Amino acid sequence: MNRAFRPSLLAAALLGTAAFSGPAMAELSANIGVTSNYLFRGVSESNDDAAVFGGLDYEHASGLYVGTWTSSLGGGGSYELDGYVGFAGEAGGFGYDLGFIYYGYPTDSAAEFYEVYASFSYDIAEAGIAFDPDNEDVYVYGGVSFDLFDGFSLGALVGHYMFDEGDDYTHGQLSLAKGDFTFAVDATDIDDYDPRVSVSWSMNF
């Protein structure tokens, strides 16, 4: 799923939604991949271990989409299984993406939550917001993505996670991508939480 609030495994710096425009016809697609560290908003979801992931998406010509995505979460056989639905398109050069996502953890149901989200993009820039109604948590971000040379692209993102209960934090990410590979550095202002480096490979078909 190349969408703003899906973790940064399929696109550099969570910027896979930039200037989305609906396909000419309904389309079914799938993705698979592996990463050295599954990072979600700057924090490891895989206990700093490698993770494998994959997803299935259906996009209609109208801009409506629905899909599912799963990833391993490190040792112990735990995994994440998400579902989402939304509407995306482009108007006057501005891209938009509005939707709902449910983050499922079959081996830890207490950790499950859902968000409604909106993201907007123009040219190289994108910004978005997600809201968790149950916990009243809010995530906002802004970023840019540049095409470089020989198929390389550079991404930069800053996000801020605000919790109704718990400490807020800010994170940043720099990424370099070429083809199916992405190299990323993530850092947060969480006390005693060192920056993380990840290398990911993904394929869409």
Query: What CATH number has the domain bearing residue 142?
Result: 2.40.160.40
pLDDT tens column, 154-185: 999 999 999 999 999 999 999 999 999 999 99
Give the pLDDT band of residue 25 (cuts 50, 70, 90). Answer: low
Residue 6 domain-assigned? no
Residue 4 domain-assigned? no
* Count of the separate structural domains present in the chain: 1
Residue 110 domain-assigned? yes
Residue 2 domain-assigned? no
For residues 188, 78, 68, 204, the Cα torsion angle rounded to the nearest 10 degrees is: 70
Residue 114 domain-assigned? yes
Find tokens 């993904």 and name the residue.
202
Residue 186 domain-assigned? yes
Q: Containing domain of residue 34, as a range?
A: 12-204
Residue 102 domain-assigned? yes
The Cα 26–Cα 58 span in angstroms is 7
Average model confidence (pLDDT) across the chain: 88
DSSP line for 163-183? -SSS--EEEEEEEEEETTEEE
Inform me whether the pLDDT recorded for 103 exceeds 90. Answer: yes
Cα-to-chain-centroid distance, residue 27: 21
Separation in Å, CA 72 to CA 8, 27, 145, 169: 14, 26, 28, 25
Inform me whether the pLDDT recorded for 20 exceeds 80. Answer: no
